Amino acid sequence: AQKITQTQPGMFVQEKEAVTLDCTYDTSDPSYGLFWYKQPSSGEMIFLIYQGSYDQQNATEGRYSLNFQKARKSANLVISASQLGDSAMYFCAMRAMYSSASKIIFGSGTRLSIRP
Partner 1 sequence: EAGVTQFPSHSVIEKGQTVTLRCDPISGHDNLYWYRRVMGKEIKFLLHFVKESKQDESGMPNNRFLAERTGGTYSTLKVQPAELEDSGVYFCASSQDRTTAGGYLAKNIQYFGAGTRLSVL
Report the interface residues with partner 1, using CB under 8 A: 31, 33, 35, 37, 42-47, 50, 52, 91, 95, 97-109
Give the nearest distance from C-beta 17 to partner 1 in angstroms.
28
DSSP label at 30?
S
Q: Tell me whether residue 40 or residue 84 sits nearer to partner 1 (CB atom).
A: 40
Q: Tell me whether residue 13 or residue 22 sits nearer to partner 1 (CB atom).
A: 22
Give the nearest distance from C-beta 42 to partner 1 in angstroms.
7
Q: Tell me whether residue 57 or residue 99 sits nearer to partner 1 (CB atom).
A: 99
Q: Tell me whether residue 12 or residue 47 sits nearer to partner 1 (CB atom).
A: 47
Contact (Cβ atoms closer than 8 angstroms) between residue 113 and residue 13: yes
Please, which residues have CB within 8 angstroms of residue 27's CB and are 6 or more apart in sequence? 2, 3, 73, 94, 96
Give the nearest distance from C-beta 52 to partner 1 in angstroms.
6
Give the nearest distance from C-beta 15 to partner 1 in angstroms.
26
Using a 10 angstrom Cβ sphere, with 0-12 exposed, 13-18 middle and 19 or more buried, the burial of residue 74 is middle
Contact (Cβ atoms closer than 8 angstroms) between residue 19 and residue 13: yes
Q: What is the CA radius of gyration of the chain?
A: 14
